[in-house]
Amino acid sequence: MKINGTEITREWLVSKLEYAPTSSARKDILDKYIEIAVKYNFSAITFPAPECLEYVSERLSGTGIRLCTVLDHPVGLASLKTRELIAKEAYARGARGADVMPSVTAVQNKDWKAVTESIKVITDAVGPEFETKIFTNCNGDLDEMYGMIDCIQEAGATHLKAYDENRTGVPIHRIADLRARLTNAKLKASGNGKHWSSAIVFGVFAAGADCVSGSNMPQIVDEFPYFENIFKNISF
């Protein structure tokens, strides 16, 4: 099976999947999620609680799995100074990537200069190896979505994180639209992990997503042999 000319293997798939399990700060639960991430060799794992980052970072040492967190999510109301501080703290605690909510006030008012500033203060605060993935609602106002593309690229973020605020998954045609417009950032597709299916995941890859995140990534990998067998002679 090929997608956009690339032969799809299990190794290719896990390199494109980011595991975002249900949030918890209990070490026994963290250990369970870390074991799953290592077993499947996902590209990244995301934990929101800053207090657990150092522990998880130590557990992931030597695995090659990127530790990510979230910044100013879900409200997006932190001041520029606060955003700078929480980014630096996440980096110091071992995170090497974050899903970042831009200034919600600026987005709602379509104040694109302020949106860019709310992103750039974070990209400037962390090292170049830190992946900044900026939440962008892709199931609503197109002008807002297009405005976010320009802000993300101008601010130097590494990814646009396409999500659906209704939590049903990003429409595939919006992924294709974003792919056609993004030139200096990668495209991450996300939504409610419970709704991801292999068909949708491979659909968003075919539409141009660089990576996908969700809570049910192990299920996607487990289903891959069946999906591969069905579509073994087909290219997307």
Least confident of 31-40, 161-170, 182-191, 217-226: 161-170
pTM: 0.92
Residue among 72, 95, 73, 96 at smallest CA distance from 84: 72
Residue among 125, 140, 136, 193 at smallest CA distance from 159: 136
Q: Residue 235 has what pLDDT?
A: 67
Residue 133 CA to residue 141 CA, distance in Å, equals: 20
The residue ranges of every structural domain in the chain are 2-230
Predicted confidence (pLDDT) per residue in 111-158, tens digit = 999 999 999 999 999 988 999 999 998 887 899 999 999 999 999 999
2-230 to CATH, choices 3.40.50.2020, 3.20.20.70, 3.40.1160.10, 3.40.605.10: 3.20.20.70
In sequence order, the 6+-apart residues with CB closer than 8 A to the CB of 234 are: 1, 2
CB 2 within 8 A of CB 210: no
**Token reading at 10:** 């299990």
Predicted confidence (pLDDT) per residue in 190-204, tens digit = 865 555 788 788 889
In sequence order, the 6+-apart residues with CB closer than 8 A to the CB of 47 are: 23, 30, 33, 53, 56, 67, 68, 69
Overall average pLDDT of the 215-232 stretch:
87
| 2-3 and 6-7 strand pairing | antiparallel
